A and B are shown apart, each in its own frame.
Chain A
Amino acid sequence: MVLSARFHFISWRKVYYMNKNTASQKMLSIILLVLGVVALGVAIVLDMQHSDAGYRGFLLILGAILVLAGLYFFPTIEHHRAIINFIFLFPLLFTFVITVIVPMALGIFYSFTDWNGVKMNNFVGFENYASMFKDPAFIWSIVLTFLFVVVNMILVNVIAFLLALMCTTKMKGVDFFRAAYFLPNLIGGIVLGYIWQFVFSNVLIKFTASAFGMRNSLLATSRSAFFAIIVVYLWQYAGYIMLIYITGLTTIPKDVLEASAIDGANATTTLFKIKIPMIASTITICTFLTLTSAFKQFDVNMALTNGTGSVKFLGKTLSNGTQMLALNIYNTAITKNNYALGQAKAVLFFIILACVSIIQVRISNSKEVEM
């Protein structure tokens, strides 16, 4: 077996070096490179002239592939590694630059202009940023988002941790419970939003009506709808965070727990003095995950209430009582067609998110070191 593997490598080496040194390979490489550059050139010229030719896109891709293939066959031994590195990095880096870096840079740039989603005419400086702070509806969204994030971070982590403790005991059917708690996380926000809309407005209302005489759905007022979003979010996310806590808890060495039991530590002491300090890094991960995902919450918010609900804030009656930041940005840009303002809000959203997550990681890291 070993022998055949070695033979395999030796024959591979022969092929490799033979290919490298033949003149025909040099010809192939040059022909591919020339063809590729010509195809690329023609395609770009057609693009520049805004030609109607349907084949120009195909020509461009073909040219790019030909150039890469030509580079690959280029007869060089010392630069071959560098060429491979370039070819290997190119696809992912190219898509990444076009989808993330370029739109990010353009987005920040557009937030200082009167961009309307298609083109921009003037620079407006910080006007977009100034005007969004004059809008009580936007300030309300910020306040609401922070409230949501704080409540969720605490609730999801506490509940998930308790569930994890429960699921690491020797209870029967633990595997089933783990799967059952995790199941909601498989469903996308839009679909689960509609499912819960049905639960709140058609099912729960029957129970509350007979039990407390509550005839309105939880989604009817802003305050209760906010509570409803938290219930749904917990339902969706606690099971996932629980799984991460379970992994953390199971990595605690058995002998440490045994030693504490011999020393006479009871369950509470073991929990606070041993288990929680030992999984400090897991707590960091979980708080980070819940923080960022709660901040970016969009799908459930949109499907459940679409941000509606009246609320009194800063002396005004607003109609976006349950609208969080991500949805506010979306509505400003897409629904109200105010792209520049929406983009400015998004940039602020990014700055807030970046600051909050850096602070969170700093705090947790300092706590971890203390332990």
Chain B
Amino acid sequence: MKMKKSSTVILTIVAIVIAVYTLFPFFLVLLNSTKKATDIVANPVSFAGSSISQLMENINKVVTNSNFNFWAAFGTSAVITVVSLALLALFGGMAAWVICRNKTKWSTVIYMTFIASMIIPFQVVMLALISTFRDVGNFIGIKMLQSIPGIVFAYCGFGGAMTVFILTGFIKGIPYELEEAAAIDGCSPEGTFFRIIFPLLKPVITTVTILNGMWIWNDYLLPSLMLGQNGPVKTLPVAVQAFVGSYVKQWDLILTAALLAILPMIILFIFAQKQIINGMVEGAIK
């Protein structure tokens, strides 16, 4: 019994040390956002020179900076993420239901193509993607590059495979009798989907939304290529990259920018910790 107690203490100490390692960078970002550049360089781990008013000043500098344009970038990121997630959930659910409930040659081919495409790294498609979007956009007269609709379209395409994969697995487990009963009662197929299947998908759509949301919100490469590093529309990661590029080693501004960029995610995590953790794990296991 005594042996057990001491080992628990050691384990707790180890756990705390590791937690310090994982949380220390966050602490440093927060601490140094409240200091002047000279104080940061002098001693990044001391509280000397840190004050709330300095934090406000730093935030003000970053937010009003024309290179960063925080609110515009935040708004762009939010719109792109929310619209893409909503469309992915709706279209993904519709496609997964059709694939799952129609065992024809075509639906199998489509499903297999989705699965196989999940291994394609973004690097293989990115160069031709840009030229395809440019050509298609010029041809049909709708701007596909440097525009929010274009990037939402791309996210629907890239997120589609995984969404369909996870949703199909879930729909397979829904008893077919439910749909038969609806059909006997005279429900149309589209009514069956929207009134019966789609409401049942709620838990798995939460999973898919969390997985896709983490990816879309944090994604850098796709928006940097499609929107351009210095284009009129920027997402938050692209804006941070552009901002850091123009203020090399100005750590007070860079760290405040980083703080503003990670804050939304951390606030979300504090409120929806359980759902996020479950979503990330379930998405990986399926």
Contacts and interface: CB of A to CB of B under 8 A. Distances in A.
Interface of A: 6, 9-10, 12-14, 16-17, 43, 46-47, 51, 53-54, 56-57, 60-61, 72, 80-81, 84-85, 88-89, 91-93, 95-104, 106-108, 110, 117-118, 163, 166-167, 169-173, 176-192, 194-196, 198-199, 202-203, 206, 235, 239-240, 243-244, 247, 282, 285, 289, 292, 295-296, 298-299, 303, 326, 329-330, 333-334, 339, 342-343, 346-347, 349-350, 353-354, 357
Given A118-B131, A244-B281, A93 B95 contact: yes
B11 A57 contact: no
Given A96-B117, A183-B269, A194-B254, A203 B28 contact: yes
A203 B153 CA distance: 42
Nearest to A81: B189
A9 B187 contact: yes
- In this complex, which of A206, A334, A349 has the most chain B Cβ atoms within 10 angstroms of its Cβ? A334
A16 B139 contact: no
Q: What class of interface size applies to chain B in its complex with A?
A: 35 or more
- In this complex, which of B26, B141, B218 has the most chain A Cβ atoms within 10 angstroms of its Cβ? B141
B98 A89 contact: yes
Nearest to A170: B8
Given A98-B132, A107-B128, A195-B258, A235 B21 contact: yes
A100 B164 CA distance: 15
B112 interface: no
Nearest to B8: A171
A170 B5 CA distance: 11
A190 B132 contact: no
A176 to B, nearest CB: 8
A179 B22 CA distance: 10
A60 B261 CA distance: 38
20 contacts: A85-B98, A92-B91, A101-B113, A106-B132, A163-B18, A171-B15, A179-B273, A180-B23, A183-B23, A189-B218, A198-B251, A198-B254, A199-B24, A199-B25, A206-B44, A243-B277, A298-B220, A303-B241, A350-B120, A354-B119
Interface in B259-286: 261-262, 265-266, 269, 273, 276-277, 280-281, 284-285
A274 B140 CA distance: 61
User: Chain A interface mostly helix, strand, loop or mixed?
Assistant: helix
Contact of A194 (B139, B186, B258, B280): B258
Interface string B215-249: 00111110001000000000001001100100000
Interface in B4-42: 8, 11-12, 14-15, 18-19, 21-26, 28-29, 32, 40-41
B15 A349 contact: no
A99 B95 contact: no
Given A98-B153, A243-B277, A244-B284, A187 B262 contact: yes
Nearest to A61: B142
Contacts of A93: 95, 110, 160
Interface of B: 8, 11-12, 14-15, 18-19, 21-26, 28-29, 32, 40-41, 43-45, 87, 91-92, 94-95, 97-99, 102, 110, 113-114, 117, 119-132, 136, 139-142, 153-154, 156-158, 160-161, 163-164, 182, 185-191, 193, 214, 217-221, 225, 237, 240-241, 244, 251, 254-255, 258, 261-262, 265-266, 269, 273, 276-277, 280-281, 284-285
B186 A9 contact: yes
Given A103-B128, A163-B18, A98 B157 contact: yes
Contacts of B164: 92
Given A182-B277, A187-B218, A169 B11 contact: yes
Which 10 pairs of residues, A with B, have the shortest CB-CB distance? Answer: A13-B186, A99-B157, A188-B218, A57-B142, A9-B185, A103-B128, A88-B94, A57-B141, A95-B157, A107-B128
